[in-house]
Amino acid sequence: MKFVHFPKPFEHSHPPVRDVNELFDEQSTFGQRAADKVASVAGSWTFVIVQSVILVSWALFNVVAWARHWDPYPFILMNLVLSMQAAYTAPIIMMSQNRQAQKDRIEAHNDYMINQKAEIEIRAVLEHLMAQDEAIQELQKGLLFIQENLGAGASNNDQK
């Protein structure tokens, strides 16, 4: 009977996997966190509804105001305020999007590294399974040999 060689047990030689989101948040600066917060607020339905209510109220108060119109039609002051808001909000949102793109690249690289490690571990498991298959085949051959010899020995004893 042939001796089957089993591969040595697989040794994990990599650090434990960490959550990329936690690592990214730990490294973010105050400005980056502020940009993310502005982007999340400005990109919400709450912001759109509140801003719409303010703009409609602004226009109505200036159209129907009895005493003093602080921003008469065509609402030049309101346009100035909205332009200033857009001038600051757009770059802040772009900073947040750039940060998100950087985070996505890091996450994709992390996924790639984990997939490489998993492939190595799967290869080790498959090698071990192949060795087990060989061992089982050798055991079956040995059992068949024993059965044949016992059967031949029993028939030889019967003939005497």
Q: Which two tokens stand for residue 81?
A: 């305020």
What would the mean pLDDT of 130-145 be, rounded to a whole number?
Answer: 91
User: What does the pLDDT look like over 113-137, one tens digit per residue?
Assistant: 899 999 999 999 999 999 999 999 9
pLDDT greater than 70 at residue 155:
no
Q: Considering the domain boundaries, does residue 14 fall inside one?
A: no
pLDDT greater than 70 at residue 153:
no
Q: Considering the domain boundaries, does residue 97 fall inside one?
A: yes
Residue 160 confidence class, pLDDT cut points 50, 70, 90: low
Mean pLDDT over the full length of the chain: 88
Q: Considering the domain boundaries, does residue 143 fall inside one?
A: yes
- Number of domains into which the chain is organized: 1
CB 1 within 8 A of CB 142: yes
CB atoms near residue 39 (< 10 Å): 19
Q: Considering the domain boundaries, does residue 101 fall inside one?
A: yes
Write down the pLDDT at residue 20.
82
Looking at residue 64, the DSSP 8-state letter turns out to be: S
Which residues constitute the domain of residue 117?
29-154
Q: Considering the domain boundaries, does residue 66 fall inside one?
A: yes
What pTM, to 2 d.p., does this model score?
Answer: 0.65
Q: Considering the domain boundaries, does residue 12 fall inside one?
A: no
User: What does the pLDDT look like over 74-98, one tens digit per residue?
Assistant: 899 999 999 999 999 999 999 999 9
CA distance to 20, 24, 33, 45, 107, per residue, from 30 (Å): 19, 13, 5, 25, 22
What would the mean pLDDT of 95-108 be, rounded to a whole number?
Answer: 93
Q: Considering the domain boundaries, does residue 113 fall inside one?
A: yes
Q: Considering the domain boundaries, does residue 20 fall inside one?
A: no
pLDDT greater than 90 at residue 9:
no
